Amino acid sequence: MDQQLSVRSALHNTILLLTPAYGRGEAAAITHILLEWLTGKSRLQILTEPEVLLPKSMEIRLHDAIEKLLAGTPIQYITGTQQFLDLEIAVSPHVLIPRPETEELVLWACRDYASQKQLKILDIGTGSGCIALAMKHHFPDALVTALDKSLNALAQAKANASRLELDIHMQEGDILEMHNQPVTKTYDIILSNPPYIPLLEKATLDKHLSAEPDMALFVPDKDPLLFYKAIALFAASHLAPRGAVYVETHRDYAAEVEQLFQKHQFLSTQIRYDMHGAPRMVKASK
């Protein structure tokens, strides 16, 4: 009869198997996330109960998860969740995994409008809904709209909104086709983390990105500002007085994105650097 695997052995073996692909530090972090997910216990409980034996079914799930990780599946798609500010966001391969840089974008907008309440907010390309939901969580009285052309993404965002009990409006639409839309509604805040990675860079990226949806990541090499052009054009007519647009950008194109908004008569623009010191966010207001 096979001997049951202890928590201690599971931690040691998993870190050992993942280290060649991830490096020791990241392998350890991923392993702890896996064990917390599998056992339903906190990291402290896991570390203080190292001799607890894992049921065979849990051991099988652990091996399956390790195989997926080594094949390039992000840990978030295995556990099905990603923390985003104060919210636990459910994710799937249909949507981009929320990242810390996007948290910085949301916090920028939240701090700028901290004294206001009844805002109208639009999140363009909502994906999992993380931006829209974080804004609604921070501004409970705001009217928040989450826009995406992917029905799968909207379904994911809707499920997150329902689970988190945050009331936001879901809208199907492609920002690339909305520049001629009649102005029936304006927004105080428009946010977006649009696709911005040129296809040429795909081969050089970390393999874990290949599991995320291409439509949420990549743009044609000849037109890396494709989505920013559409956002600027839309915002030029749909942004309310004293409103602002906040977009996440490729580090190599932040200056060009800023100039693009300036060409559309946004008189106040600003580039912000992320936690790693890279120019990754642009704000534009009239």
Digit-by-digit pLDDT tens for the chain (286 residues) are 467 889 899 999 999 999 999 999 999 999 999 999 999 988 888 888 888 889 999 999 999 999 999 999 999 999 999 999 999 999 999 999 999 999 999 999 999 999 998 999 999 999 999 999 999 999 999 999 999 999 999 999 999 999 999 999 999 999 999 977 777 899 999 999 999 999 999 888 877 777 899 999 999 999 999 999 999 999 999 999 999 999 999 999 999 999 999 999 898 999 999 999 999 999 999 8
pTM listed for this prediction: 0.93
3-class DSSP string for the chain: CCCCCEHHHHHHHHHHHHHHHHCHHHHHHHHHHHHHHHHCCCHHHHHHCCCCECCHHHHHHHHHHHHHHHCCCCHHHHHCEEEECCEEEECCCCCCCCCHHHHHHHHHHHHHCCCCCCCEEEEECCCCCHHHHHHHHHCCCCEEEEEECCHHHHHHHHHHHHHHCCCCEEEECCHHHCCCCCCCCCEEEEEECCCCEEHHHHHHCCHHHHHCCHHHCEECCCCCCHHHHHHHHHHHHHEEEEEEEEEECCCCCHHHHHHHHHHCCCCEEEEEECCCCCEEEEEEEC
